[in-house]
Chain A
Amino acid sequence: MANTQSMCTSFLGELLSATHNFSSANPAHTASTADTFKAALYVTTATINAATTAYSATNEVSGTGYTAGGITVTNATNPSSTNSSSTAGVGYWTPSGNLVYSSVTLATAFDTVLIYNSTQANKAVSVHTFGSQTITAGTFTLTMPSNTTTTALLRLSTT
């Protein structure tokens, strides 16, 4: 088993039904608040990939200081979109803060974070992988990329 970085396929379909709301100003939803997105860590022996449709506690990391389900993603910046030509463009979004798991001990090796929508039945958004890690009485920090058309955490493009 292995984890694979990917956009979750179910997320793509759910975008067309306005299931996910990353914006605090979205007329498609009755509430003018964005959904809450969370970030959960998974051990190296998990199978988290494009086929993942929702958060599951199976093979999630566990240990001192870590709460099942992970941490809430800071989302103070609404999604953006930019035209790159008359026929192409990019929509993009990045959490406005780094993902920081403070004062944790995670003894089992992990290599994946799953971003998911805890407001909408924990539906999966994206999978991000990195080198295998453990944490001992320390902090695990995932620094977010710059929120641009070429580096944002989530990018949807027409070419």
Chain B
Amino acid sequence: MIITTTKGDMDESLLEKKEGSVDNENEYTTWDEYWLDGELVHRSVHVTLKKSPFSDLFAASLG
């Protein structure tokens, strides 16, 4: 697979891949990193938000 990097497009086999994830009450996030000779050359992140802002609306009682 070809990876877009800061050095240009490179074959994945030439790179060291690191992956990670965070799962908490606010989000589920995954990330992929590719390193070349100790240098970070690609990092992508995928965030899925679990919480959204929420507003309550009120109608006042009359009388």
Q: Which A residues contact B (CB, under 8 angstroms)?
A: 5-7, 12, 103, 105, 126-131, 133-143, 145, 151-159
Contact = CB atoms under 8 A, between A and B. Distances in A.
B5 A137 contact: yes
A137 B22 contact: no
Contacts of A131: 22, 26-27, 29, 47
Contact of B45 (A5, A141, A153): A141
A135 B49 CA distance: 18
Given A130-B49, A133-B45, A145-B49, A12 B56 contact: no
Contact of A130 (B29, B54, B58): B29
Contacts of B45: 133, 135, 138-141
Nearest to B5: A137
A5 to B, nearest CB: 6
Contacts of A134: 43
A3 to B, nearest CB: 12
A133 B47 CA distance: 10
- The CB with the most chain A CB atoms within 10 A, among B6, B50, B57, is that of B57
Contacts of B46: 141, 143
Interface string B21-55: 01000110101110000001111111111111111
Interface residues of B, number: 30
Interface of B: 4-6, 22, 26-27, 29, 31-33, 40-59
Nearest to B53: A7
B4 A103 contact: yes
Contact of A5 (B32, B53, B55, B58): B53
13 contacts: A7-B55, A105-B6, A134-B43, A135-B44, A137-B42, A138-B44, A139-B44, A139-B45, A143-B47, A143-B48, A145-B50, A153-B52, A157-B54
- The CB with the most chain B CB atoms within 10 A, among A137, A156, A157, is that of A137
A152 B22 CA distance: 22
Nearest to A133: B45
Contacts of B29: 130-131, 133
Contacts of A105: 6
